[in-house]
Amino acid sequence: MRIALGLSYNGQAYQGWQSQSTGLTVQDKLEKALGQFTAQRVSTLCAGRTDTGVHALMQVVHFDTDRERDTHAWIRGTNACLPRDIAVQWALNTPEAFHCRACATSRRYAYVLLESPVRPSVETGRVGWSFRPLDQAAMQQAAGYLLGEHDFTSFRASQCQALSPVKTMLAINLHKRGAYWRIEFEANAFLHHMIRNIMGCLIQIGQGKKPPEWMQTVLTARDRKAAAPTFSPDGLYFLGPRYDARWGIPERTPAYDGLP
């Protein structure tokens, strides 16, 4: 049978999602826990890979197994074998046709940023930081240039393995509550470091170092050197993919609404 899991994790201690020889990735920890729970080797696929230090509120994974467990057992049993900073939020039996990556219609991320003259302390590793005030109107105007289908080469990491730099940005929304910003992105797919590179540009615009129109100049340049340096991974959260309703996959976990 095919099982889908919704996974949340704090990425500070891990070298991203994808399995590595060090064993210090989220995929390695999850597959080890599933192996302990099922007493068999389990291989997982995820909806969207995350980099070193990046967090997830609803990473969706699937795997095939001949072990029969009810959904609550998959949650409790797997969590009992996982580190405290990784937790299964839900489990579903799905049809074999479901594929967590191929069936996703879009993916969502949020970047949480602290605007303060003093660096983060208790939130270190969980929020980005701007020590200068930010202009929300200028940032929202700049974000508008990125909406729609574009070649995002200027925001693509050199090691990106995507077959095409052309992606469709569906939404970018900025919210501020107190000293905290929450900037949400939704696209059909993202390139390696794409959001962190966009964030670098948004911060420069928000701090008044560049005008909002500069974002369009960077986009049309199709040259990574035209953009700002890659921003910190600390405040980046994978909110999860969206799917057609027929699959019955949740759109969010309780942690989604608790994020600043």
Q: How far is the C-alpha of 78 from the C-alpha of 37, rounded, in Å? A: 6
Token pair for residue 90? 């839900």
Backbone Cα Rg of the chain: 19
* Residue 208 Rama label (left phi>0; alpha psi -120 to 50; beta): left
108, β-bridge pairs: 186, 240
What φ, ψ does residue 242 adopt, rounded to 5°?
-110, 150
Q: How far apart are CA 68 and CA 240, in angstroms?
A: 26
Closest CA to 62 of 243, 258, 260: 243
Residue 51 catalytic?
Answer: yes
Kind of pairing between the strands at 236-242 and 55-64: parallel
| Catalytically annotated residue among 51, 85, 135, 151 | 51
Catalytic machinery residues: 51
